[in-house]
Amino acid sequence: MSSPLLRLYPGPTARVSLTGRYLAHELRHYGAIGRPFVYANFLVSLDGRAAVADPRTGRHRVPPAIANARDWRLYMELAAQADALLISDKLLRALAQGRYAEMVDLGQQGLEDLIQWRRRRGLLAQPAVAAISPELGLPVPVKGGFFPDEVLVLTTGEAPADRARDLEQAGVEVVRAGPGPRLTGREITGALAERGHVILYSLAGPGVLRTLVASGEVNRLYLTTALSLLGGEGYDTLTRGPALTPPAGFRLSELHLDVLAPEGSSQLFHTLIRA
């Protein structure tokens, strides 16, 4: 991580450290009750592959050909700054089964400085985890594998009452954030802000990103573009669902070039702010 990035924008061009690059954005200065600050992060290939189907399981995952430790470091710097990590119920089920803990766990080897960063600011070691689950199709108990102290499940008024009761008895806070059948972006962020979570990092994938963007809730998008073509048939792009009308515009705030990853290629780190 000691090898620098090349800052391309804003000028002048300069070599800058990768470690601490996103911590320097001080995202905790943004957001307030009634005005949460929402950001998301994606790694994509040149041909727009943000996730591809695993040939063994069929589950969609970050393309292994472009996943790399340098991008991962910045992903975790964004996680360290959050009050809550917004995830899908699919990821919550995986966490309960002991899979994909690395996506939300700041306690991994090599990330000790991020835990210290949070503690210096009076924060718990781990952000809360908030999962969106309209049908509450989750295992009980949920809290297997890795979990932080606070786990919330955001659902609708149409969710089965018996499922909500079972989850609450297992120590998970169930929040009926809207009437249903689906939650809007504003209902999601509003319910979390009411609980004091105003810095929100969305890890929940293309469907949730579209929901948040459609409600005007995404303030900042961190986009890593690996300069590699992957091809393939089963994949996700950044959003999924109906067309956004009008399109959601973003403006470039920062752009950095990393010539060291992924292997055999390079990548661009974009910081994009909602226009």
Domain chopping of the chain, boundaries: 5-274
pLDDT by residue (tens digit) across 9-37? 999 999 999 999 999 999 999 988 889 99
Looking up tokens 């005005």 gives: 35
Q: Compute the average pLDDT of residues 85-113.
A: 89
Q: Of 201, 226, 34, 224, nearest to 129 (Cα)?
A: 201
Q: Compute the average pLDDT of residues 211-239.
A: 96
pTM over 0.85: yes
144 has pLDDT over 60:
no
Looking at residue 145, what is its pLDDT? 60
Cα 273 to Cα 275: distance, rounded to the nearest angstrom? 6
Polymer length of the chain = 275
228 has pLDDT over 60:
yes
The CATH architecture annotation of domain 5-274 reads 3-Layer(aba) Sandwich (3.40)
What percentage of residues in the chain have a pLDDT greater than 90? 76
Looking up tokens 């393309």 gives: 63
Cα 209 to Cα 189: distance, rounded to the nearest angstrom? 12
Q: Compute the average pLDDT of residues 141-149.
A: 65
208 pLDDT band, cuts 50/70/90, is very high
Q: Of 195, 247, 249, nearest to 86 (Cα)?
A: 195
| CA dist list (Å): 173 to 93, 165, 183 | 16, 10, 17
What percentage of residues in the chain have a pLDDT greater than 70? 97
Looking at residue 150, what is its pLDDT? 86
